[in-house]
Amino acid sequence: MRTAIKFCGLTRPEDVAYAAELGAAYVGVIFAGGPRTRTVDQAAALFGVRARAGEPERVGVFGRVASAEIARTAAAAALDVVQLHAADAAATVAEVRSATTCTVWAVVRADGAGIPRGAMEVAAVADGVVLDAFVPGRLGGTGVALPWDALAESMPSWRREDVPLVLAGGLTPDNVDRAIAALHPDVVDVSSGVESAPGIKDHARMRAFAEAVADAVANAR
């Protein structure tokens, strides 16, 4: 089993660089509102010019935005992945995919152990499914953890083995091992769990998270 890491909600170039140093597969920037939101110009400056192959893929997190605007932002920030936090229908995912050359991830927000209606339809068309906690009025970055063991029981009814599962929602260096053991995600997505303040990553916690993921993967073999 291999579980990749995505550090999300990045706002400082030094945090992007450190994520790459730790071997993260993905680095994420928020365009969907909240204290970590960046403009297109800020995101472009944050990521900088691609210096070498093998750098983390760049993920842009969007709310309910027109597909044409997403495409413009993706091109300007040289994104690799578009993450949709308002993809409540399979048609939305298909529309964004047709407007951009990026990989498209769709967020499925679980209310407790319940998977919302339509999750299977979205999973059928998305390039990846991000499983996050449902918090009214918030699209993500809430720090609310999911009931991983309970979700594992319902997972076979909607998870597709050929579609990567990205696990978000309240992950920290102290609990990511339990989340990995329960759900075996392809990617673990952390933001507030490695911060000293919203958008300000704590490098010691980032390293602790990466080490915890490595240990969890090693113990699963």
CATH architecture of the domain with residue range 4-219: Alpha-Beta Barrel (3.20)
For the segment 106-135, what is each residue's pLDDT rounded down to a tens digit?
A: 988 877 666 766 677 777 889 999 998 866
Query: For the ranges 139-153, 171-185, 201-215, which has the lowest average pLDDT?
Result: 139-153
Is a pLDDT exceeding 70 seen at residue 156? no
Taking the C-alpha atoms of residue 34 and residue 48, their distance in angstroms, rounded to an integer, is: 23
Q: What is the pLDDT of residue 206?
A: 98
**What is the identity of the amino acid at 65?**
V
The pLDDT, as a whole number, for residue 112 is: 67
pTM above 0.85, yes or no: yes
Instruction: Supply the pLDDT for residue 9.
Output: 96
Give me the pLDDT at residue 136, please. Answer: 47
Return the pLDDT at 138. 56
Ranges of each domain in the chain: 4-219
What are the tens digits of pLDDT across the range 88-98?
677 888 899 89
pLDDT band of residue 72 (cuts 50, 70, 90) is very high
